[in-house]
């Protein structure tokens, strides 16, 4: 196709703008009018009433309007579309088009994703893959560029990206900035590598998100002074207020592995809420299907914690849009995108209709299939060839030296230092844990012990192992651990539960070892069966057996973690 000239673009946009003005003035009918609407006015903090007129995908006016299509929403409440301020799409375990099918019926019309999971596996090919896989989806997928690949120099990922590697991506129209700067230690200790990435983002006038659980004092001052604007790792009010008071925005996270809404609900008041957003960070299929997405957080905030409904909606939409400078989102007013969510009432908060740019996309939880965007053949093949590791034996996991014991904390992804062990002790719930490097066939295997997981027999392994996504395995014996890792490699990724050398349950994740091309419902069925089997084999009932395990290798969250080189004390960045 011939390239459109600049003059041609101006002419095309002029025609569109004139159509908007004609509809707004009432001289011509709007494309869509939601008649008799009661809507959340995020500017005056009240429920207002009027017809909401839409044309060319925008809200053009509110008052008395007629349209080519008119929908009576009497007795309903209309909200602006919700925004997830920080999520890793890969955590849904499905391709982005399947993720969209899960969240759009729940009122989410925009997400801010950090593709650092797939980027840790595929390098910049991973960024390209996700940009292509999210093109023109009916949920706007915006990007923050991965800041830590790997998370720290002490980890082994599939790539090692400096500021040069990501700099050109800042000019992409869907890239909003630099994603969670997990290497807080590197920033506060003036490491040129992570600091250069902040400088690069600022040079492009972009945002920089943070990740600094528990950081305080002069180190926190240094972190914020370096240019980090937000944090989604606050797990208590003390930490949240410490950061809010020196200017950071707080993303209140309620996901699958980390759930902080209850602890941070006091922020949802007039004094603090304008500095807050909602995010999920990581969200597994069952949560998406059974609980919902951002609507679940709003509903809980209103029902359980008595948050003013209008304020909850503002945090879910308006404040997130303002933070990310998405200036035509997050409100119901002329000139804003016609991303509209129709609910029954604030008490039940059931979502009945979702409009994306004035098109009805979902009704009563149902929407049509979302086609997969066209992708380069190279990227599709590259994403399915990410395992380079030799066949392992029990001998690779048999070691009687003293190793650190990682203590799990129920309901959190932080850990404790539980001393040392030199062999598994199922009665004391001390199990062997290993991380196997899988990107470059280095043969590196980090060994340690874990307490609090609960497994009584067999082994559990997954290629979702934050953030470098090597293979993490926990087991009661070396034979089953080796079998589990080999099975993951054969499947080109996923989750496996084994016992006595047999697969008892598995989930195949063939896209970079992180996602499946299957339907969300099918992946969820296999995943829930695997959870059931893992619990039958002893895993604690009140944890997610796989997502919780996947964070045990993330060397930026205190206190102990396991990498391909051994157990690390995150606070000192030293191996035990």
Query: Is residue 256 pLDDT above 90, yes or no?
Result: no
378 located within any domain = no
Q: Do 334 and 413 reside in the same domain of the chain?
A: no
- Compute how many other C-beta atoms are within 10 angstroms of the C-beta atom of residue 218: 9
Query: Is residue 298 pLDDT above 70, yes or no?
Result: yes
Task: Identify the domain boundary among 335, 365, 395.
Answer: 365
41 located within any domain = no
Q: Do 343 and 459 reside in the same domain of the chain?
A: no
Buried b or exposed e, range 303-322, using 16+ CB within 10 angstroms: eeeebbbbbbbbbbbbbbbb
| Helix, coil or strand: residue 373 | coil
- Residue labelled with tokens 């080999």: 486
Q: Do 234 and 86 reside in the same domain of the chain?
A: yes
| Confidence at 154, pLDDT banded by 50, 70, 90 | confident
pLDDT in tens, 119-141: 999 999 999 999 999 999 999 99
CA-CA distance, 462 to 494, in Å (whole number)?
6
Share of the chain above pLDDT 70, in %: 99
490 located within any domain = yes
Which residue pairs, CB below 8 angstroms and at least 24 apart, start in 247-251?
248/210, 248/224, 248/275, 249/275, 249/276, 249/277, 249/323, 250/275, 250/276, 250/277, 251/85, 251/86, 251/209, 251/276, 251/277, 251/278, 251/279
75 located within any domain = no
11 located within any domain = no
Whether the CB-CB separation of 139 and 385 falls below 8 Å is answered with no
22 located within any domain = no
Element (H, E) at 545: none
Q: Do 180 and 129 reside in the same domain of the chain?
A: yes
Write phi, then psi, for 70 (nearest 5 degrees): -125, 130
Share of the chain above pLDDT 90, in %: 91
Q: Do 399 and 548 reside in the same domain of the chain?
A: yes
CA-CA distance, 274 to 332, in Å (whole number)?
18
pLDDT for res 462? 98
Question: Phi-psi category of 107—alpha, beta or left, where left has phi over 0 and alpha has psi -120 to 50?
Answer: left
pLDDT in tens, 475-519: 999 999 999 999 999 999 999 999 999 999 999 999 999 999 999
Give the domain extent around 224.
80-365
pLDDT in tens, 210-219: 999 899 999 9
The CA angle 212-262-324, to the nearest 5 degrees, is 50
Whether the CB-CB separation of 178 and 209 falls below 8 Å is answered with yes
Q: Do 432 and 313 reside in the same domain of the chain?
A: no
pLDDT in tens, 429-467: 999 999 999 999 999 999 999 999 999 999 999 999 999
Q: What CATH number corresponds to the domain at position 356? A: 3.20.20.140
Q: Do 517 and 415 reside in the same domain of the chain?
A: yes
Whether the CB-CB separation of 120 and 468 falls below 8 Å is answered with yes
Q: Do 287 and 391 reside in the same domain of the chain?
A: no
Query: Is residue 163 pLDDT above 70, yes or no?
Result: yes
Q: Do 91 and 195 reside in the same domain of the chain?
A: yes
Whether the CB-CB separation of 102 and 288 falls below 8 Å is answered with yes
Whether the CB-CB separation of 495 and 464 falls below 8 Å is answered with yes
Domain count for the chain: 2
pLDDT in tens, 55-77: 999 999 999 999 999 999 999 99
CA-CA distance, 8 to 3, in Å (whole number)?
10
Q: Do 214 and 286 reside in the same domain of the chain?
A: yes
Q: HEC string of 188-221?
A: HCCCHHHHHHHHHHHHCCCEEEECCCCCCHHHHH
Beta bridge mates, 560: 569
Whether the CB-CB separation of 455 and 474 falls below 8 Å is answered with yes
| Confidence at 557, pLDDT banded by 50, 70, 90 | confident
445 located within any domain = yes
Residues 178-198, mean pLDDT to the nearest whole number = 95
- Compute how many other C-beta atoms are within 10 angstroms of the C-beta atom of residue 250: 25
481-to-145, 400, 473 alpha-carbon distances in Å: 35, 16, 6
pLDDT for res 454? 97
Q: Do 456 and 332 reside in the same domain of the chain?
A: no
| Confidence at 1, pLDDT banded by 50, 70, 90 | low
Which pTM does this prediction carry?
A: 0.94
112 located within any domain = yes
Q: Do 115 and 171 reside in the same domain of the chain?
A: yes
């Amino acid at each position: 196709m011939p390239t459109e000239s600049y003059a041609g673009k101006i002419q095309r946009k002029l025609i569109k703008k004139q159509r908007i003005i004609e509809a707004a003035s009432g001289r011509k009918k709007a494309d869509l009018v939601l008649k008799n609407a009661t809507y959340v006015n995020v500017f005056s903090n009240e429920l207002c009433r009027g017809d909401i007129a839409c044309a060319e995908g925008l809200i053009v006016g509110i008052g008395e309007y007629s349209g080519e299509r008119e929908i009576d929403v009497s007795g309903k409440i209309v909200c602006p579309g919700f925004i997830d301020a920080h999520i890793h799409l890969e955590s849904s375990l499905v391709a982005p088009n399947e993720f969209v099918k899960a969240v759009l019926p729940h009122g989410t019309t925009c997400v801010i994703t950090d593709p650092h999971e797939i980027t840790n596996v595929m390098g910049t090919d991973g960024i390209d893959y996700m940009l292509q896989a999210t093109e023109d989806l009916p949920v706007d997928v915006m990007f923050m560029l991965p800041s830590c690949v790997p998370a720290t120099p002490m980890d082994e990922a599939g790539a090692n990206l400096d500021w040069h590697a990501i700099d050109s991506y800042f000019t992409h129209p869907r890239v909003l900035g630099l994603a969670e700067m997990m290497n807080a230690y590197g920033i506060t200790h003036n490491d040129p590598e992570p600091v250069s990435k902040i400088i690069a983002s600022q040079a492009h006038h972009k945002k920089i998100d943070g990740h600094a659980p528990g950081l305080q004092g002069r180190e926190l001052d240094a972190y914020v002074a370096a240019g980090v604007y937000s944090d989604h790792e606050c797990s208590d009010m003390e930490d949240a207020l410490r950061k809010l008071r020196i200017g950071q925005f707080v993303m209140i996270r309620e996901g699958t592995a980390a759930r902080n809404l209850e602890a941070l609900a006091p922020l949802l008041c007039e004094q603090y809420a304008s500095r807050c957003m909602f995010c999920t960070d990581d969200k597994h299929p069952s949560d998406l299907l059974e609980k919902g997405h951002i609507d679940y957080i709003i509903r809980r905030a209103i029902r359980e914690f008595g948050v003013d409904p209008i304020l909850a909606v503002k945090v879910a939409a308006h404040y997130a849009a303002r933070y990310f400078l998405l200036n035509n989102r997050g409100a119901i007013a002329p000139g804003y995108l016609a991303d509209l969510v129709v609910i029954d009432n604030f008490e039940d908060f059931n979502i009945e209709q979702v409009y994306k740019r004035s098109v009805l996309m979902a009704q009563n939880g149902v929407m049509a299939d979302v086609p997969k965007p066209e992708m380069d053949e190279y990227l599709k093949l590259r994403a399915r060839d990410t395992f380079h590791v030799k066949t392992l034996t029990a001998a690779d996991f048999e070691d009687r030296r003293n190793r650190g014991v990682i203590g799990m904390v129920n309901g959190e992804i932080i850990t404790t230092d539980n001393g040392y062990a030199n062999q598994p002790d199922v009665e004391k719930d001390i199990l062997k844990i290993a991380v196997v490097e899988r990107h470059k066939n280095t043969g590196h295997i980090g060994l340690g012990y874990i307490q609090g997981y609960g497994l009584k027999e067999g082994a559990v392994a997954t290629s979702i192992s934050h953030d470098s996504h090597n293979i993490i395995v926990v087991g009661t014996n070396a034979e089953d651990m080796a079998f589990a890792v080999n099975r993951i490699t054969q499947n080109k990724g996923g989750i496996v539960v084994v016992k006595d050398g047999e697969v008892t349950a598995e989930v195949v994740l063939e896209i970079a070892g992180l996602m499946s091309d299957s339907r969300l419902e099918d992946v969820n069925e296999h995943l829930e069966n695997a959870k059931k089997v893992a619990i039958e084999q002893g895993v604690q009932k009140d944890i997610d057996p796989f997502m919780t395990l996947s964070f045990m290798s993330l060397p930026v969250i205190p206190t102990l973690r396991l990498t391909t080189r051994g157990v690390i004390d995150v606070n000192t960045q030293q191996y035990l």
